[in-house]
Amino acid sequence: MAKTKRQQSLSKWTKQKWDYVSPGDKKKPKGKRGRYLPASVRASLSPGEKAATNRKKRKAGGVGSRAKYSRKIAKGVRRA
């Protein structure tokens, strides 16, 4: 039986190499971590963009808080 479009999308998403933008974030408490992005998007960001997106995420607050992605990052995540 063939996978539905949603199942295909989920399979693709799980195969991506997701990780934090900053290597040391895994060891930090959840409220202090930065962005969690696929490898292809992390590689496309400049050091300044990485710093800016991490600042924005950390400023949003603790666990469960949400900071919107910039347009460039959102586009990259959708296409990753």
Q: Is 48 contained in some domain?
A: yes
* Structural domains counted in the chain: 1
Q: Is 4 contained in some domain?
A: no
Q: Is 43 contained in some domain?
A: yes
Q: Is 38 contained in some domain?
A: yes
pLDDT tens digit sequence for 44-65: 999 999 999 888 888 887 677 7
- Cα-based distances in Å from 36 to 2, 3, 9, 11, 19: 31, 27, 18, 18, 5
Asked if pLDDT for residue 4 goes beyond 90, the answer is: yes
This prediction's pTM:
0.74
Q: Is 3 contained in some domain?
A: no
Domain that holds residue 74: 14-58+68-79
Q: Is 1 contained in some domain?
A: no
Q: Is 9 contained in some domain?
A: no
pLDDT tens digit sequence for 13-38: 888 899 999 888 889 888 788 888 99
